Amino acid sequence: MKTLKVMKKIFATTLIVCFLAFTILMTVLVLNFNKYGSTQLGDTTLLIIKKEFSSEEHKKGSLLVVENKLVKDYKVGENVFTYHLDGRGGANVQYGKVGNVNVEQDAITFENGDTYSSEFIMGVPQKTYSGIGTYLAIIESKWGFLFIILIPNFFLFIYQLYALIIEIKYGKNEEETKNS
């Protein structure tokens, strides 16, 4: 019986540590949202594909790791993601091929004629993870973060506080009765 209790404690502790590590990771991602609503860590942006693009390699629900670089380092013909501001104060993601690099103006021009300043250039896709973007979008949303991260952590905290109070209140009595 004692072995079962030890195994139960090891399993519960491992589960709690894994959940807390997941919580910390998701909190870091949410805290690093840029002004356009994407997670940005330095020059790397995590882009969640929410709608289909003209490219077959970037499907809806994918997570893309997009790397930004200096304007002079972009090459003609390279596929680039950019932010396009809409009239309501939000930003849409545009995807296109570089037609011209304007180093003097610190901007790039797509083949279709759209010009983007370096401020609006997200970067070049480096890696694609199919299907992960949908789950990350749910977790990073307000309601998803509340129900998947905050509320379970609150209950975990309350349970640990309860266990500590029970241990303090009744722990000594058990030891005294075992020694007697």
Pairing of strands 121-129, 91-102: unpaired
**Residue 171 falls within a domain, yes or no?**
no
145 closest CA partner among 32, 23, 35: 23
Q: pLDDT tens across 111-155, in order?
A: 999 999 999 999 999 999 988 999 999 999 999 999 999 999 999
**Residue 180 falls within a domain, yes or no?**
no
Tally the domains of the chain.
Answer: 1
Dihedral sign computed on CA atoms, order 152, 49, 42, 92: negative
**Residue 170 falls within a domain, yes or no?**
no
175, pLDDT greater than 70:
no
Model confidence band, residue 173 (pLDDT cutoffs 50, 70, 90): low
**Residue 65 falls within a domain, yes or no?**
yes
Q: Which helix (H) or strand (E) holds 83?
A: strand 79-85
Q: Hey, is 59 helix, strand or coil? A: coil
pLDDT at 2: 87
**Residue 140 falls within a domain, yes or no?**
yes
Dihedral sign computed on CA atoms, order 5, 8, 14, 17: negative
In terms of residue numbers, what domain contains 26?
2-159
**Residue 172 falls within a domain, yes or no?**
no
pLDDT at 137: 93
pLDDT at 86: 81
**Residue 174 falls within a domain, yes or no?**
no
**Residue 118 falls within a domain, yes or no?**
yes
Q: pLDDT tens across 51-103, in order?
A: 766 567 788 899 999 999 999 999 999 999 999 888 777 788 888 999 999 99
